[in-house]
Structure 1
Amino acid sequence: MYKDTIELTKELTNIPSPTGDTKKIIAFISNLLNKSGYKPCINNKGSLIITVPGTNQEKQRFITAHIDTLGAMVRAIKPDGRLKLDLIGGFNFNAIEGEYCTIHTQENKDYTGTILMHQTSVHVYKDAGTAKRDQQNMEVRIDEKVSSKEETEKLGIQVGDFISFDPRTIITSSGFIKSRHLDDKVSAAILINFLINLKKTGETLPYTTHFFFSNNEEIGYGGNSNIDSQVVEYVAVDMGAMGDDQQTDEYTVSICVKDASGPYHLGLRNHFVSLCKEKNIPYQLDIYPYYGSDASAAMRAGADVKHGLIGAGIESSHAYERTHKDSIESTEQLVKEYLFSSLS
């Protein structure tokens, strides 16, 4: 194994990769898998594909994890030199209030900053606690001596520059990992380690399988292309959403039965459940009401496949997230059992 999956997850979270600016992490994964003997392919959209020949090449599988994350762009430079944000992905402004960030300029220079309310100081602003957290009121305070639009522009910062959020990744002694962007770098780490271990063991998968690391999932079309006509099953490995009325937790693998796109394939879902029961893998079935995945994107694109969705349970999704090594290990185990199983 390259390293413990939880440690690999930490390494991945520390590589900035907001949707639209993912070349660095794709190159990292490509180099890592190349060293293990694979020949990664990059499609025109910038996603990474590894095809692993199996015993049966007539019927194939397709499995994805996405490496793009939530982020932002510079919407405007304000008269005082601070930045107005435009969000990338489905999250709320309050989820990033007080967060450290990095502005990545088009000249490949990075500047740090902090995302704050304009009315942050309670000693100055009466509405510091009640003002709406939105594009108008929230801004980036840049860690440079700037107090005007012109001074900020002289740094090379301009509209359209990407902004990544500090992941603040911590692994606790009790087995938790808390960080931004566990969605979906936990899953990416699981698939990477599976591939590395597969090379080490020399085992052959029962079916030719395409491993797809997508880079546009957070905006809805990450895994909707490059699906071979012989693919019969498509599985997205992505986070399990937690909250009221949810069964998903931080200690089991979550099997999604339905999200905002509709039900997932019943036969494939039942196959996951059978594997969990047979191999004593802790699991939960769940519905994610405001959620879409690479698999649902593939269905909207017209893919003629059975589609499924599994993943580690992630607490506080699209904010400062957390999961436990037990959930990661359960997901790893189900991924392995599934990829070595017969078709559903």
Structure 2
Amino acid sequence: MTRLRIDTDYLARTLRELLACPSPTGFTDNVVRLCGKELDRLGIDFELTRRGAIRAFTQGRREHPARAIISHLDTLGAQVKLIKDNGRLELVPIGHWSARFAEGARCTIYSESGAYRGSILPLKASGHTYGDEVDSLPVGWPHVELRVDAFARSAEEIGRLGIDVGDIVAIDPETEFLDNGFIVSRHLDDKAGVAVMLAALEAIRREKAKLPVDAYWLFTIAEEVGVGASGVLPPHIAAMVAVDNGTTAPGQNSNEFGVTIAMADQTGPFDWHLTRKLVGLCRDHEIRFQKDVFRHYRSDSASAIEAGHDVRTALVTFGVDASHGYERIHMHALRSLAELISVYVQSPVDIPRDAEEFGSLRGFTRQPTAEADQDLTGDAELRDPG
């Protein structure tokens, strides 16, 4: 088991292509095709669900207990709620994000008759007209509107264009790759996680790495609305590691460098054993890391558990500044994450009992207590799981 060399040029190129492909939840067909073509090019077998979630596969020496790595292809966006008399469009958000970050955004409206460009603006957008009132307007989706770049100054003229209630609005990513390694863009959540997984797969294929058990690489299409992993896991997956963004902000321990391992989110603690295995792998392979707890956050792991999957879950993240807004990350975190994933899928399975859905106490894990010996390394039953 070795830490594989990650091709950061490949990672950056893949991320650029993903960010350039609009994919708000509900409008993900094209990004699914893009991801599928890249898996084909890498020689990775995969299949799609009816709606387009991807389940890719790399074979290990054994089938059970299988592992999964998961990220999501869908992003935030908006949807037309109402066509106003003045030809402007009222919007509702797709996913949870503030209208504060929608103000001034360039976007594309996808209608049945074609795509139109536009801008999301405050209701009072002109200082020359409204004076100081532009600064006192409340923040919220009822206080912004979409101006369509077309000859349409009334609801009737908008209707002639074919734009209607329910049309999807994709927000421009406004991507910048800086020479110092920083990447600034919307939708890094979770296009960066997808690129990290593909970079890890590229390294595994290039280095012909051997895996002890089968690994599934899952790409979901509805994480931003809370149902991402609910219908894509095979039943024999025992452990699932989600790859998503970590929030760097005052009061948080996340960082834009290295791997941030989430110990809990708003749905509760992640699996005690699996998170500690990932921490141990970072230490053993000199991958920079830190731990964090997220209070206003959930990921694909939550939807998997809520759907009834009895699977150990963990969350590994790249630190993002201004999540769900004008996001910023650093290539160091993406490379570190890909390294950790490549090491994890090569690592041995430490709890053979996880291969069975049900069993006796024999082989079941233990957790340290105040009375127990804190050095657990000598007991095979107490080692971290796969």
| TM-score exceeds 0.5 | yes
1:52 and 2:58 matched:
yes
Say which SS state the counterpart of residue 310 (structure 1) adopts: strand
1:31 pairs with one of 13, 18, 37: 37
Shift of 1:9: 1.1
**Counterpart amino acid of 1:163?**
V
1:118 pairs with one of 123, 148, 155: 123
**2:25 matched residue in structure 1:** 19
Deviation string, structure 1 residues 235-264 (Cα, Å, up to 9, x no partner): 101111111211111111110001000000
**Counterpart amino acid of 1:186?**
A
**2:184 matched residue in structure 1:** 178
1:304 and 2:282 matched:
no
**2:249 matched residue in structure 1:** 243
**1:263 matched residue in structure 2:** 269
**2:230 matched residue in structure 1:** 224
Indicate conservation of the 8 Å contact 1:82/1:139, yes or no: yes
**Counterpart amino acid of 1:64?**
I
1:91 and 2:97 matched:
yes
Structure 1 segments, 4+ long, off by >6 Å, are none
Taking the aligned partners of 1:47 and 1:23, their CA distance within structure 2 comes to: 10
Indicate conservation of the 8 Å contact 1:33/1:196, yes or no: no
Indicate conservation of the 8 Å contact 1:256/1:309, yes or no: yes
Say which SS state the counterpart of residue 124 (structure 1) adopts: helix
**Counterpart amino acid of 1:320?**
Y
**1:214 matched residue in structure 2:** 220
TM score, norm. by length of structure 1: 0.97
**Counterpart amino acid of 1:118?**
L
1:254 and 2:265 matched:
no
Taking the aligned partners of 1:230 and 1:136, their CA distance within structure 2 comes to: 46
Taking the aligned partners of 2:40 and 2:64, their CA distance within structure 1 comes to: 26
| Alignment root-mean-square deviation, CA | 1.3
Shift of 1:6: 2.2
Shift of 1:33: 1.1
Taking the aligned partners of 1:202 and 1:283, their CA distance within structure 2 comes to: 26
2:298 pairs with one of 286, 292, 300: 292
**1:73 matched residue in structure 2:** 79
Deviation string, structure 1 residues 149-172 (Cα, Å, up to 9, x no partner): 111111111111100111000001
Say which SS state the counterpart of residue 40 (structure 1) adopts: strand
Say which SS state the counterpart of residue 251 (structure 1) adopts: coil
1:335 and 2:321 matched:
no
Indicate conservation of the 8 Å contact 2:265/2:295, yes or no: yes
Deviation string, structure 1 residues 107-142 (Cα, Å, up to 9, x no partner): 3x1111110001111222242111112232200111
Taking the aligned partners of 1:101 and 1:181, their CA distance within structure 2 comes to: 13
**Counterpart amino acid of 1:243?**
A
Say which SS state the counterpart of residue 152 (structure 1) adopts: helix
**Counterpart amino acid of 1:39?**
D
**Counterpart amino acid of 1:61?**
R
Taking the aligned partners of 1:96 and 1:342, their CA distance within structure 2 comes to: 46
- Structure 1, unmatched stretches of 5+, are none
**Counterpart amino acid of 2:287?**
I
**Counterpart amino acid of 1:31?**
K
Taking the aligned partners of 1:18 and 1:275, their CA distance within structure 2 comes to: 34
Shift of 1:200: 2.9
Taking the aligned partners of 1:331 and 1:38, their CA distance within structure 2 comes to: 20
- Structure 2, unmatched stretches of 5+, are 1-6, 350-384
Shift of 1:2: 9.4
Say which SS state the counterpart of residue 326 (structure 1) adopts: helix
Taking the aligned partners of 2:164 and 2:219, their CA distance within structure 1 comes to: 30
Say which SS state the counterpart of residue 249 (structure 1) adopts: coil
Say which SS state the counterpart of residue 308 (structure 1) adopts: strand
Indicate conservation of the 8 Å contact 1:261/1:292, yes or no: yes
Taking the aligned partners of 1:39 and 1:273, their CA distance within structure 2 comes to: 30
**Counterpart amino acid of 2:127?**
V
1:276 pairs with one of 264, 282, 307: 282
Shift of 1:146: 1.3
**1:195 matched residue in structure 2:** 201
Shift of 1:210: 1.0
Shift of 1:310: 0.1
Indicate conservation of the 8 Å contact 2:200/2:339, yes or no: no
Shift of 1:21: 0.5
Indicate conservation of the 8 Å contact 1:6/1:186, yes or no: no
* More moved, 196-205 vs 220-229: 196-205
Indicate conservation of the 8 Å contact 2:53/2:232, yes or no: no
